[in-house]
Amino acid sequence: MQIMKLNPKVIIYDDGYVYNSETGESFFINETGKIIIDLIKQNNKFEEIKSYFLENYDIKNNEFERYFYEFIDMLKFQNILRDE
Amino acid sequence: MNKRKLKIALSGLNATDNPGPGVAVARALKESEKLDCELIGFVYENLEPGIYMENMFSKCYQLPYPSSGQEVIFERILYIHNKEKLDVIIPNFDSELNAFINLQNELEKVGIKTFLPTLEQFEARQKTNLIEFGKKYNLDVPKSDNIYSIAELHRILNNYSYPVVVKGKFYEAYIANGYEQVVMYFNKISEKWGLPVIIQEFIKGTEVNVIALGDGNGNTICYVPMRKLYITDKGKAWAGVTIDDDNLNELTYNFFKKTKWRSALELEIMKTSENKYYIMEINPRIPAWVYLSVGAGQNLPESLVMLALGENVKPYETYKKGIVFIRYSWDLITDLEKFKKLTLYGET
């Protein structure tokens, strides 16, 4: 998987409120989504993010991957995340 | 800092559900850090809400409608100027601009400054001339044709796919999904606004708006882009948020560089999913949502007045992103005094 970077025009607030200043659109992400975004912000790669969740949450490998990619696709569709 | 004392007259006090920009311009000038403004209202109707707002306009005068002719308007302004000693006039209606552009030298001679687009610029950006404007300055604008009779419709519509937009030369636009609808809107619009009626390609996308001010030498003095968050049934912004789109920034700065636009304007732009930016309309005056520019850190009316006075105005370099405006309605309570004066004497 390519390195993922957050769109610098996107502001993510601590409470999960996301404002895309490029489009004027805004929405909320839940606590888990916020953790994933924070890990991406810290330049963690997919394997590192996966390890974090498998260690800290009661979730199976394939289950995590399905939800993770679904979430990432949504972030890319909303132009919050870009492949480097 | 000593503020410069000025007396400024402005129009567009109709802060209704289809608002003129006057009250927002007045509010911006009242909050100026450089200018100490006493404001005079130019009004057309007795019930324009700005007339009745406390601490906004020290006096209001009725102006003759633009259709009365510029001599009549000038005569009225001279009467007002004799009493008020105006420094600057800011006309805020499209329909007034032609007369004020033609009168600007006469106004200057009696000591009243304005800062308006040139007549060529004003004409070139008319809806009926937008295609030529786009070609001249290499800007994307939607395909359009000016129609003078229903007989032309069949031939012209062969070059379009539905839906198409049917527009009046001054105001109003409808989306038509078939020939019968186009004919219906053609008749409706031509009856109200005259000919030509404009047939325009329908561009699907997200509407974004820009408020900006050019110094006439190709420099962008103020620039704030906004996305509408809530619109009224007339398509007017009731809420909006400042955005930060690099392509839009570049488009606007290039626009001023190429056109050397003088004065304020509003660009109505449609951004498509292919990331193309079409200029849908160029409104040659300050838009009603101008107070958002103040909220975002750029006092555009203040800069416009400084340019009118011949000052060297430094361009703003930044604005706050994610700043929201929400319009609201508010019932003013007043007695009949001002209404009576305006009705009887044409001034408050």
Q: Where are the domains of chain A?
A: 4-83
- Give the integer Cα–Cα distance in Å for B286 and B283: 8
Q: What is the model's pLDDT at position B147?
A: 93
> What is the nearest CA distance from A53 to chain B, expressed in angstroms?
33
Confidence of residue B171 (pLDDT cuts 50, 70, 90): confident
- Give the integer Cα–Cα distance in Å for B23 and B63: 17
Q: Tell if the CB–CB gap between A23 and B226 is shorter than 8 Å.
A: no
Residue reference for tokens 């390195």: A3
Q: What is the model's pLDDT at position A1?
A: 58
Please state the ipTM of this predicted complex. Answer: 0.71
The strand ranges marked E within B34-87 are 35-43, 59-62
Give per-residue pLDDT as tens, B68-86. Answer: 999 999 999 999 999 999 9
- Give the integer Cα–Cα distance in Å for B266 and A44: 43
Whether omega before B196 lies within 30 degrees of 0, making that bond cis, reads yes
Q: Best of B230, B269, B321, B323 to disrupt the A interface by mutation (most A CBs within 10 Å)?
A: B321
Q: Is the pLDDT of residue A5 over 90?
A: no
Both tokens assigned to B195: 């000919």
Nearest to A11 among B226, B242, B322 (CB): B322
Q: Is the pLDDT of residue B172 over 90?
A: no
Q: What is the mean pLDDT of residues B202-230?
A: 95
Q: Could you tell me which chain A residue has the CA closest to the CA of B244?
A: A22
Average pLDDT, chain B: 94
- Point out the least confidently predicted range of A13-17, B69-73, B266-270: A13-17
Q: What percent of chain B has pLDDT over 70?
A: 100
Q: What is the model's pLDDT at position A60?
A: 93
Q: What is the mean pLDDT of residues B177-191?
A: 94
Confidence of residue A2 (pLDDT cuts 50, 70, 90): low
Question: In the CATH hierarchy, which top-level class contains the domain A4-83?
Answer: mainly alpha
> What is the nearest CA distance from B269 to chain A, expressed in angstroms?
13
Q: How many CB atoms lie within 10 A of CB B340?
A: 12
Q: What is the mean pLDDT of residues B5-34?
A: 95
Domains of chain B: 4-114+331-345 (3.40.50.20), 121-125+204-326 (3.30.470.20), 143-201 (3.30.1490.20)
Three-state DSSP state, B52: helix
Q: Best of A13, A22, A78 to disrupt the B interface by mutation (most B CBs within 10 Å)?
A: A22
